[in-house]
Structure 1
């Protein structure tokens, strides 16, 4: 009887939470019957690969699993090494190449020939619509939003809470020249105070010239949604950044699919691929890659050096927190792929990628100094 009462209480709490989350939903696709490169039917975007919608029973089983399955080692038992950054560290960098900083999860700061670009910025304590519940950060960001210099561009891959952070966007609105977002995501940004004139929406394969080359929004295999009823009403995708000297690829979130080869054929080879490697599971295997698939995606893209992202910051699945790193290192070694695993806040140049560092087994001495293994 006690178990039934507890389950009933949890269901009520969940229903309230879902209702409140849904009430915060803003983003809507403005175009009806949109003529897009991405499959679009009855107000919903779709992946090219056919998929079977999750039934209510499947959804219920997944929720039960979340509430009942015991998680093991999903949060770090070490102090995550973070290199603190200040604005002067960034301004002192040269303007004749591309510099890269992994800030956490999938948040990446680029200095592109003197311009500052930010990818999927999430600076909040939790990847959640609320800051009192939901996945909590394992580490602080290497620098605060206030320490960021003025940004030329912010690029968003899709509208999930661990990639599109309301609090971060509101604070970035006044210090960013342009926001590049998938179709439909402009609805949220406008609501949060970003002027419409600063926002440009992108369809799959849409290109935009920049002062140093061009940007392209490319497909991936995922989904979107921030509340009940808005599933797939906004687009998702990946980003290609091309300059006369260098090519970069940012995957956003994706399951493994044939599109990586098409992107590689169209825009590759890439000097650096930043590829999702984390938050995978058998119950959502088509929309998040296993580490071995992430390495294969890098190969399909004709990448030279791979940086695993979407890891080390939030607990979003059932695997151990270090499993993505352990498995991607093994897979990269087996496939003879060059891997870079910088610490959060570590700056490296596209011309000189950071070495492979096994920082997730780091030890911290009494002075708070970090000792990591480099290979």
Structure 2
């Protein structure tokens, strides 16, 4: 009874308390909503006032109707082919051809293509690489053996007396005379130093020049004195026409030529390095400029375009000056007359001569000409 009276007497107070609690909860919720609303207030977005811009009127591109096309010149090959060389050119044809010896030829350096390759040097002793139309040359120093030791032709010191010099030159003559009778290249290889580098010659037209130019051409000038040396060339040639041919030439000191295994000329200066002799009555009658009289060789037969063996040996004995000149003559052909009534003959060549080399050859127009047939096996 007492408990009932207590709730009855306190009913109003309890209702007031409940009402107060509900309002307190509502107040907290309301305040939380307001706080979140304030914190998450959106950023203001500022909009620029639209600006009126003038419109650009596009102009039509004015193109002239009659335009002259600029002539584009074809690129020219650098003149030396070589050189250079360098180089009329050794071979103005561009097809890929594999020669008898293979290889890619060389750049003549004078505006044309020597062989079928590019960028390789050429000088009066030949190119640095062959295409098959050249004679391959090797260089021997007769003063040194294959191991680099002095031979009996070695000049030990400069300024040796003339007696010793003559003895050594005499031994050089003996070696070349022996070679002229046998043409044994293997004997030279066994006994004497051979330069590692080879040369590929298309002609033999070397004017008066210091004898050291030969060791330099074979890249042994630092180890070979320019005396008592020899260079041997061999390869295939082919005649442009069937017929009889012969060489005329001169050299200081040595030049001998074999065709098909037979000596056809020894054009060495003063003395011969073989037992060969010319049978022509005009032998050594005609001079090649300031050079001594030209030697006239023997006739030999060649069939058109048939590969034929050819060998050439050139050399220098005492040093100083070296030169060699080799022309070719065809039987039955009338040649214009030159110095002293001698025929003006074409130089022997297997390909067209590089332009840069023609003036270097110093060809006497009263004796020879660069115009003439080519005797290369590749046409």
TM-score band (shorter)?
Answer: under 0.3
Q: TM-score, normalization: structure 2? A: 0.25
Rg: which structure is higher? 2
Q: TM-score, normalization: structure 1? A: 0.26
Bigger helix fraction = 1
